Structure 1
Amino acid sequence: MDKVAFLAASRHGRAPFVTASSKKIDFAAPAFEGEMVEVTGRVVRVGTSSLEIEVELIAEAPVSGERRLCTRGRFTLVARKGPDTLLPLPPLALNPTAKPEGVLRLAEMVFPGQTNHYGTLYGGDALRMMGKAAFIAATRRARAVLVMASSERIDFTAPIGEGDMVELVADVTKTGRSSIHVTVELWSEALLSGARRHAATARFTLVAVDAEGRPTAIQLA
């Protein structure tokens, strides 16, 4: 939750932030093994050099789609003074930009343990992130037990540096009798400047299976 608060603050303020405090963290329900967990952060208050972020953690049953709030908390982050910090921080947006429906978006942070000797994200870690995004997008569409059948093509177009944020955009492009095809784009974003660049695209095929592991028809609502 703290990582999501940090990413939300960095995207809003475009400054080097540190967590100053967390308060009123409510644990409302458990999240179980095998469930998807969605963590969202939104800016609720802006000061001269500080931000307050509300973070919610919601568990979702993959097959039924049932969702429940598990945890909610508030975090205060402060912008460190320096040449990259512009104060006061931007005001709170009155009309946040709506995200297109049907497209899954995931955000991750690139940490030192995920980089190679060039200081850029390992291709294997990028593929793992993209595969997870494809699985979640496909499961939300099919509401069935799915397994990965293939990754048809992966194109790496730019490196992603340590400390960058990565955003994964997954879109279901085709649904067959028992298969579902997902295209995933990976974008890197510099937290201070907001500069974005397309880093990779991959296409995945997932197949719905029954209790015996055999392909079964997808029943779309």
Structure 2
Amino acid sequence: MTEKLSTNVSRTNQTKLVLPPDTNHLGTIFGGTVLAYIDEIAAITAMKHSNQVVVTASIDTVNFLSSARVGDILHLEGVVISTGRTSMEVFVKVECQNIQSGEKTITTTAILTMVAVDQDGKPTPVCGVIPETEEEKRLFLSAPTRRNRRLQISAEKMK
């Protein structure tokens, strides 16, 4: 596919409330809960870009920068930052907002690789992507380095 789509086509936003069952004994949100939210928004983001069902191929990086507590609001944003023939890299940023103070902090960032699949579960081609923001352009330009690292890891596992 030679067509390219703006990152604005895939941009997805979700809001979640941190509830007591989402937290550990320290009163902060479980990392696994945040990962589930990240995987979900990455899938939705990639489906919007590809108009196909997608599967998670890898979670390349997850950076837990700060934590969220009961009553905080999480704002998640996902965007496709690069594509391969059938794969899409999705950048997800999670921001925490303290409802009382209004203070916002970035809690987590992640990059996932999603693969578009057809009704038989076979990988299917996707459109390219045109980055819009400076952050998206930076992530787009560093995509080959991440792809090479994934390929190297795969090759090492095959030995």
TM-score by length of 1: 0.52
Whole-angstrom distance in 2 between the partners of 1:219 and 1:120 = 39
More helix by percentage:
2
Deviation at residue 101 of structure 1 after TM alignment:
4.0
Are the aligned partners of 2:83 and 2:127 in contact in 1 as well (CA < 8 Å)? no
The answer to whether 1:114 aligns with 2:22 is yes
The answer to whether 1:132 aligns with 2:40 is yes
TM-score by length of 2: 0.72
Gap runs ≥5 in structure 2: 1-6, 129-159
The answer to whether 1:190 aligns with 2:107 is no
Deviation at residue 219 of structure 1 after TM alignment:
5.1
Aligned partner (choices 180, 184, 192) of residue 88 of structure 2: 180
Task: Name the count of aligned residue pairs.
Answer: 121
The answer to whether 1:215 aligns with 2:123 is yes
Deviation at residue 211 of structure 1 after TM alignment:
2.5
The answer to whether 1:144 aligns with 2:56 is no
Q: Secondary structure at the match of 1:204?
A: strand
Runs of 4+ in structure 1 over 2 Å off: 100-103
Whole-angstrom distance in 2 between the partners of 1:213 and 1:101 = 27
Change in Cα spacing, 1:216 to 1:101, as seen in structure 2 (3 Å) is closer
AA at the equivalent of 1:206: M
Cα RMSD of the aligned pairs, angstroms, is 1.5
Query: CA offsets, 1:106-156, max 9 Å, x none?
Result: 100000000000000000000001111111111111101211111011010
More strand by percentage:
1
AA at the equivalent of 1:106: Q
Deviation at residue 212 of structure 1 after TM alignment:
2.4
Q: Secondary structure at the match of 1:158?
A: coil
Q: Secondary structure at the match of 2:57?
A: strand
- Decide which structure has the larger Cα Rg and report it: 1
AA at the equivalent of 1:201: T
Give the fraction of aligned pairs with identical amino acids, expressed as a percent.
33
Gap runs ≥5 in structure 1: 1-99
Aligned partner (choices 114, 118, 133) of residue 206 of structure 1: 114
The answer to whether 1:168 aligns with 2:76 is yes
